[in-house]
């Protein structure tokens, strides 16, 4: 009797397992597609602006005139923010350099070499993000690059 129902039970368990894998994979894919922009540092201020506009387009279904007005407002706000940050950048640089030196002083020579590499990567990302704002497109994100473009009216 046990053998008669055993294969049915195992078949049900295997099917449930694969159904769970399928649901889990689909859920993970959706989650990562929706949150990936928050999991990685942005590569440029222009890209941040594009992400904001794209999300607003998707969630609010903006009309072209709304899209253009909001794009202008975001650009102006980012430019003002850049002016504010520029005033404090020398102080921030000095603060980061002081922190770097203090940390280097407590590390062993091997650790110092690795920390120096870490700091260089950090500075590279920080300087790349601090590029001047402009209304142009990033390479690969302009017209004809496959990115969704709004019709001009």
| Per-residue model confidence as pLDDT tens digits over 64-108 | 999 999 999 999 998 998 899 889 889 989 999 999 999 999 999
Tell me the domain boundaries of the chain: 1-40, 43-136
Model-level pTM? 0.45
User: What gap in Å lies between CA 87 and CA 30, rounded to an integer?
Assistant: 41
Spell out the per-residue pLDDT of the chain, length 153, in tens.
455 677 788 888 889 988 988 888 888 877 777 666 555 555 677 888 888 899 999 999 999 999 999 999 999 998 998 899 889 889 989 999 999 999 999 999 999 999 999 999 888 887 776 655 444 444 344 433 334 444 444
Burial class (CB in 10 A: 0-12, 13-18, 19+), 57: middle
């Amino acid at each position: 009797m046990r053998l008669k129902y055993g294969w049915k039970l195992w078949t049900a368990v295997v099917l449930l397992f694969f159904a769970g894998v399928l649901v889990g994979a689909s859920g993970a894919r959706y989650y990562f597609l929706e949150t990936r922009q928050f999991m990685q540092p942005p590569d440029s201020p222009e890209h941040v602006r594009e992400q904001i506009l794209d999300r607003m387009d998707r969630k609010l279904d903006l009309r072209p005139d709304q899209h253009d007005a909001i794009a202008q407002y975001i650009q102006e706000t980012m430019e003002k923010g850049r002016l504010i940050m520029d005033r404090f950048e020398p102080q921030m640089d000095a603060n980061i350099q002081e922190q770097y030196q203090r940390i280097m002083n407590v590390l062993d020579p091997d650790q110092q070499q690795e920390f120096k590499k870490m700091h260089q990567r950090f500075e590279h990302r920080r300087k790349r993000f601090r590029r001047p704002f402009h209304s142009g497109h990033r390479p690969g994100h302009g017209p004809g690059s496959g990115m969704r473009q709004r019709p001009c009216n």
